[in-house]
Amino acid sequence: MKEFQQSDALARLPEQFFAKLVKKLYTYQQQGHDLINLGQGNPDQPTPDHIVKSLQKAAENPVNHKYSPFQGFDHLKEAVATYYKREYDVDVDPSNEVAVLFGSKAGLVELSQCFLNEGDVALVPDPGYPDYWSGVALANGVMEPLPLLEENGFLPNYDKIDQETLQKAKLMFLNYPNNPTSAVANEAFFEETIALADQQDICVVHDFAYGAIGFDGDKPLSFLQVPGAKNVGVEIYTMSKTYNMAGWRIAFAVGNPSVVQALELIQDHYYVSLFGAVQDAAATALLDSQQCVEDLKETYEKRRNLLVTGLQEAGYEITPCKGSFFMWLKVPEGYTSESFADELLDKVGLFVAPGVGFGEYGEFYVRIGLNNSEEHLREAVHRFKKFKEEQ
């Protein structure tokens, strides 16, 4: 059979880390192993019933059986603006400051294609979400890491970036609450970011995927709450985590009009907008009661507390996460992140994500998800203890 050569753009793509993880998990499951999956970021709770019912009703509307407007329905963009005003006291113009995205992953990849030419630099958190890398590779840009170190609260230190790199930088990706470290950002950090971006003409992309998930009574800060943020960038907000709508593939870019315009332009050539019923249901989620979100946060906080207490009692080095539904666990001495993950899987059936898969500075950590029932997490703690005792 003739084999056709792939484009240079595809050849530049990094290995898809999560696809590799899922394949490994599937292999072990097919072999009949008793596994607890702590390695993925897939919400385990169903989408709230009132959102599902909104979709069902909207699917019966013949208007939604036709192509949606290329750039999404106005009523959905207005719902996004209402949400940002209610939740963050941020004024958003729905006509030019909101872009509807086919999930946050698509928007994050598209942004590099919108703003990077060959050789342009993107500043990327390390460790960080691997799909930032994919967009930079497709655009033939250059990726420069922003090391996220524990001693700096897993915030990048801008003083460590050399002037030549800053002059070439066109994009900066940030993500707080952070995946994988679970760190949160404060106003002073965002103020510093805005000042740097304004001075160097860098477009800031704040990935706010876990914006609704904060613990101990603290609400994560939106980048757009800080004066000047809209002048230098956008925030990407997904429905996946806040409303357990991961499979629905819907998100938004909110902020700088020129960035919104670029995203809508590239998507005009890729898509004919989302199924209208999904857009209607998303508007319902944003505008109706947010009790489901409060309940979800409470569920994750209980799970976090159970896991932290159990792991600390077992002698592991772990700090309670402040946001997101991940824990960032330092591996025991003598292990790399991959060797520790492999042994947990082989010896006690625990599947975790090795930190090195998120970048060089993720080495010596593993990421643990809270997307399991309390019963499964208790069993996971038991298995972590068993592993420790057998060393």
Question: What residue type is assigned to position 267 of the chain?
Answer: Q
- Tell me how far apart the alpha carbons of residues 255 and 92 are, in angstroms, rounded to a whole number: 7
Q: Tell me: do 194 and 54 sit in the same domain.
A: yes
Q: Report the alpha-carbon distance of residue 278 to residue 275 in Å, rounded.
A: 6
Q: At 24, list the tokens.
A: 């490994």
**34 found inside a domain:** yes
247 and 361 in a single domain? The answer is no
The answer to whether residue 3 sits within a structural domain is no
Cβ proximity of 351 and 345 under 8 Å: yes
Task: Identify whether 237 is part of a domain.
Answer: yes
Both 39 and 54 in one domain: the answer is no
Same domain, 346 and 198: no
Residue 1 lies in a domain: no
Whether 188 is covered by a domain: the verdict is yes
Tokens 């719902």, located at residue: 79
The DSSP result for 32-73, as a single string, is: T---EE-S-----SPPPHHHHHHHHHHHT-GGGGSPPPTT--
**Residues 62 and 190 occupy one common structural domain:** yes
Based on the domain organization, do 247 and 190 belong to the same domain?
A: yes
Encoding tokens for residue 295? 């309940």
Do 241 and 318 lie in one domain? The reply is: no
Is the domain of 333 the same as that of 379?
Answer: yes
Do residues 148 and 212 share a domain? yes
CATH number assigned to the domain comprising residue 35: 3.90.1150.10
CATH number, position 102: 3.40.640.10
Distant-in-sequence, close-in-space partners of 102: CB < 8 Å, separation ≥ 6: 249, 250, 251, 267, 271, 274
Buried b / exposed e across 254-280, counting CB within 10 Å, b at 16+?
bbbeebbebbbebbeeeeebbbbbbbb
Q: Which domain holds residue 28?
A: 8-47+291-389
Q: Which distant-in-sequence residues (6+ apart) come within 8 Å of 237 by Cβ?
A: 80, 104, 208, 209, 211, 251, 252, 254
- State how many domains the chain has: 2
Do 160 and 64 lie in one domain? The reply is: yes
211, 316 in Cβ contact below 8 A?
no
| Residues 357, 130: Cα–Cα separation, whole Å | 8
Q: Indicate if 58 and 195 belong to the same structural domain.
A: yes
CA 168 to chain CA centroid, Å, is: 26
Residues 306 and 212 in one domain: no
Is 2 within a domain?
A: no
Q: What is the pTM of this model?
A: 0.96
Tens digit of pLDDT at every position of the chain (391 positions)? 999 999 999 999 988 777 777 787 788 788 877 899 998 888 999 999 999 999 999 999 999 999 999 999 999 999 999 999 999 999 999 999 999 999 999 999 999 999 999 999 999 999 999 999 999 999 999 999 999 999 999 999 999 999 999 999 999 999 999 999 999 999 999 999 999 999 999 999 999 999 999 999 999 999 999 999 999 999 999 999 999 999 999 999 999 999 999 999 999 999 988 999 999 999 999 999 999 999 999 999 999 999 999 999 999 989 899 999 999 999 999 999 999 999 999 999 999 999 999 999 999 999 999 999 999 999 999 999 999 988 7
What is 93-110 written as a DSSP string? -TTTSEEEESSHHHHHHH
